[in-house]
Protein backbone atom coordinates (compact mmCIF):
# COMPACT_ATOMS: atom_id res chain seq x y z
CA UNK A 1 0.00 0.00 0.00
CA UNK A 2 1.14 3.55 -0.75
CA UNK A 3 0.04 6.66 1.10
CA UNK A 4 0.54 10.07 -0.52
CA UNK A 5 0.29 13.24 1.54
CA UNK A 6 0.16 16.54 -0.34
CA UNK A 7 1.52 19.80 1.08
CA UNK A 8 1.24 23.12 -0.73
CA UNK A 9 3.76 25.91 -0.22
CA UNK A 10 3.61 29.44 -1.62
CA UNK A 11 6.77 31.35 -2.51
CA UNK A 12 7.48 35.06 -2.21
CA UNK A 13 6.52 35.34 -5.89
CA UNK A 14 3.21 33.58 -5.12
CA UNK A 15 4.31 30.46 -6.99
CA UNK A 16 2.88 27.17 -5.79
CA UNK A 17 5.16 24.29 -4.82
CA UNK A 18 3.53 20.93 -4.16
CA UNK A 19 5.37 18.39 -2.01
CA UNK A 20 4.15 14.82 -2.21
CA UNK A 21 5.27 12.81 0.83
CA UNK A 22 5.09 9.08 0.19
CA UNK A 23 4.80 6.29 2.74
CA UNK A 24 4.86 2.58 1.93
CA UNK A 25 6.09 0.61 -1.03
CA UNK A 26 6.53 2.18 -4.45
CA UNK A 27 6.26 -0.88 -6.67
CA UNK A 28 4.34 -2.40 -9.56
CA UNK A 29 1.11 -2.44 -7.52
CA UNK A 30 1.30 1.21 -6.37
CA UNK A 31 3.33 3.10 -9.00
CA UNK A 32 0.18 4.03 -10.93
CA UNK A 33 -1.06 5.95 -7.86
CA UNK A 34 2.01 8.19 -7.89
CA UNK A 35 1.84 8.71 -11.64
CA UNK A 36 -1.83 9.71 -11.41
CA UNK A 37 -1.21 12.02 -8.45
CA UNK A 38 1.69 13.80 -10.18
CA UNK A 39 -0.50 14.31 -13.26
CA UNK A 40 -3.22 15.82 -11.07
CA UNK A 41 -0.70 18.09 -9.38
CA UNK A 42 0.64 19.44 -12.68
CA UNK A 43 -2.79 20.98 -13.23
CA UNK A 44 -2.15 23.14 -10.14
CA UNK A 45 1.62 23.73 -10.27
CA UNK A 46 4.71 23.15 -12.36
CA UNK A 47 6.80 22.73 -9.22
CA UNK A 48 6.47 19.20 -7.86
CA UNK A 49 8.73 17.76 -5.17
CA UNK A 50 8.57 14.13 -4.01
CA UNK A 51 9.63 13.21 -0.47
CA UNK A 52 10.59 9.53 -0.35
CA UNK A 53 11.44 9.39 3.36
CA UNK A 54 8.65 6.91 4.05
CA UNK A 55 9.34 4.64 1.07
CA UNK A 56 11.51 1.72 2.18
CA UNK A 57 11.07 -0.25 -1.05
CA UNK A 58 11.07 0.89 -4.66
CA UNK A 59 11.22 -1.21 -7.82
CA UNK A 60 11.60 -0.41 -11.52
CA UNK A 61 7.90 0.48 -11.82
CA UNK A 62 8.33 3.01 -9.04
CA UNK A 63 11.38 4.51 -10.72
CA UNK A 64 9.45 4.65 -14.00
CA UNK A 65 6.62 6.60 -12.36
CA UNK A 66 9.15 9.11 -11.01
CA UNK A 67 10.76 9.50 -14.45
CA UNK A 68 7.31 9.96 -16.04
CA UNK A 69 6.49 12.61 -13.44
CA UNK A 70 9.75 14.42 -14.11
CA UNK A 71 9.05 14.40 -17.86
CA UNK A 72 5.56 15.82 -17.33
CA UNK A 73 6.95 18.64 -15.22
CA UNK A 74 9.77 19.25 -17.73
CA UNK A 75 7.16 19.77 -20.46
CA UNK A 76 5.77 22.60 -18.34
CA UNK A 77 9.28 24.05 -17.92
CA UNK A 78 8.83 23.41 -14.20
CA UNK A 79 10.87 22.00 -11.34
CA UNK A 80 10.82 18.36 -10.23
CA UNK A 81 12.87 17.37 -7.21
CA UNK A 82 13.24 14.29 -5.06
CA UNK A 83 14.24 14.53 -1.43
CA UNK A 84 14.79 12.51 1.70
CA UNK A 85 15.32 9.14 -0.01
CA UNK A 86 14.94 6.36 2.54
CA UNK A 87 18.28 4.54 3.09
CA UNK A 88 16.75 1.19 2.06
CA UNK A 89 15.56 2.67 -1.25
CA UNK A 90 18.70 4.72 -1.94
CA UNK A 91 20.60 1.68 -3.15
CA UNK A 92 18.15 1.20 -6.04
CA UNK A 93 18.81 4.79 -7.18
CA UNK A 94 22.57 4.27 -7.02
CA UNK A 95 22.70 0.80 -8.64
CA UNK A 96 20.52 1.90 -11.57
CA UNK A 97 22.40 5.23 -11.74
CA UNK A 98 19.01 6.95 -11.88
CA UNK A 99 20.31 9.22 -9.12
CA UNK A 100 22.20 11.08 -11.87
CA UNK A 101 18.93 11.86 -13.69
CA UNK A 102 17.05 13.56 -10.86
CA UNK A 103 17.63 16.65 -8.76
CA UNK A 104 17.99 14.97 -5.36
CA UNK A 105 18.19 16.67 -1.96
CA UNK A 106 18.90 15.24 1.49
CA UNK A 107 15.92 16.96 3.13
CA UNK A 108 12.60 18.48 2.10
CA UNK A 109 13.66 21.81 3.56
CA UNK A 110 16.86 21.81 1.49
CA UNK A 111 14.84 21.13 -1.68
CA UNK A 112 12.45 23.97 -0.84
CA UNK A 113 15.19 26.45 0.09
CA UNK A 114 16.94 25.97 -3.25
CA UNK A 115 15.78 28.82 -5.49
CA UNK A 116 14.00 30.42 -2.52
CA UNK A 117 10.89 28.25 -2.66
CA UNK A 118 10.61 28.07 1.12
CA UNK A 119 9.29 31.18 2.77
CA UNK A 120 11.07 32.35 5.90
CB 57 within 8 A of CB 89: yes
**pTM for the structure as a whole:** 0.94
Mean pLDDT lowest among 40-54, 58-72, 102-116: 102-116
Q: How confident is the model at residue 44 (pLDDT cuts 50, 70, 90)?
A: very high
What does each C-alpha distance from 8 to 58, 88, 95 come to in angstroms? 25, 27, 32
Q: Which residues contact 104 (CB under 8 A, 6 or more apart)?
A: 81, 82, 83, 85, 93
Query: For position 11, what pLDDT does the model report?
Result: 81
Q: What is the pLDDT of residue 13?
A: 80
* Residue 120 in this model has a pLDDT that exceeds 60: no
Q: How confident is the model at residue 6 (pLDDT cuts 50, 70, 90)?
A: very high
Amino acid sequence: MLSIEEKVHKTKNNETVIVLSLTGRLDITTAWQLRLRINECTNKSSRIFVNLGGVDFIDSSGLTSLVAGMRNVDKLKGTFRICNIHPDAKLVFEVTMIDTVFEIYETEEEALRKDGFLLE
